[in-house]
Structure 1
């Protein structure tokens, strides 16, 4: 019996050291050297103050900002996750209907982009579709008193295209687009 226990415990100790300590430290070190900004959370700072992450969505409600997609977690990273409501859920349908109605009132448009009324799986998605962003364009430009063409130019610059033209959807990072708006059109927009 002891002949089996000793190698098993030794193997366990070696695997704990390799997978629990050596591997995480090696990967962290490689990430810090190869892509330090991403390894540290893709934090965005202005004037030495961290204001958000390009990887985690945050809520914007003022009319002069692009609004993110809904969050089932209330943009709370500690509560990240989906609503767990299934496709046949009456509660899910009611929340989508409510969001669609609010969207129509806010934008004056009848067509509603899917990501304007559905939460992402994590509840923290920082991106919206270009269609969603363009649908908000008039509201944002009017609230800022900015030329629509200038806001569109900023929006186009903030749009990430599919890699190699085919991999992944085009998307707009809401925080980065809103920061570009603030830089181009400073002032109180509340």
Structure 2
């Protein structure tokens, strides 16, 4: 019996040091070495913070790229999804309204051509990225609203498209805030 108690105390002490001291210190060091020194990568415009690279924002104006919808109104203080399933009538009504909005601003699209990430919220409600396809289908609308050649906007989309990690992990994605800020810089 005494043997097991001593082993339990030793294991508890090892885990205490490992999980309460070494692990938090290593995470703090990794955070300090990352973009933003652990405070998040801030995005500036004219010397002022306009957002964070890892937090989505709403862009309801038709001259901007639409981001991923949020079930929580882009409130970073309380991230989360809607918890409504695909058979829930309220959820289906929300999705239908989002589809109608996308079609209203992009009349040349067909329902089947709308990428899911333009009408469904992410699990956190704060996803800052859309798929490359979601950005591409919006180019025509934005070019018409801004009276800019579609090729210039397409070049921006290509420039701000992040490739998958190691070339294979995850899809291509576009940070909407960075893309919209670059769009404002286009002449």
How would you bin the TM-score normalised by the shorter chain?
0.7 to 0.9
Alignment of 1:149-188 (within 5 A): 149-185=151-187
Indicate how the Cα distance of structure 1 residues 165 and 158 shifts in structure 2: closer, same or farther if over 3 A, else same: same
Structure 2 gap ranges (5+): none
Which residue matches 2:104? Answer: 105
| 1:188 aligned partner | none
SS in 1 for 2:49: strand
Cross-structure match for 2:67? 68
**In the TM superposition, what are the counterparts of 1:87-166 in structure 2 within 5 Å?**
87-108=86-107, 109-110=109-110, 111-166=113-168
Q: Distance in 2 between matches of 1:24 and 1:164?
A: 27
Moved more, 14-23 or 72-81: 14-23
Q: Which residue of 1 aligns with 2:47?
A: 48
Q: How many corresponding residue pairs? A: 184
After superposition, give the CA deviation of every residue in 1:37-73 in whole Å (9 maximum; x if it has no partner): 3632121123332111111100111111101011101
Runs (4+) of structure 1 moved beyond 4 Å? 4-18
Note the C-alpha offset of 1:76: 0.4
Instruction: Select between 167-176 and 41-50 the one with higher mean Cα deviation.
Output: 41-50
Structure 1 range deviating more: 41-50 or 10-19: 10-19
Match of 2:76 in 1: 77
User: CA separation of 1:36/1:152 partners in 2, compared to 1, >3 Å: closer, same or farther?
Assistant: closer
Q: After TM superposition, give the deviation of residue 32 of structure 1 in Å.
A: 1.3
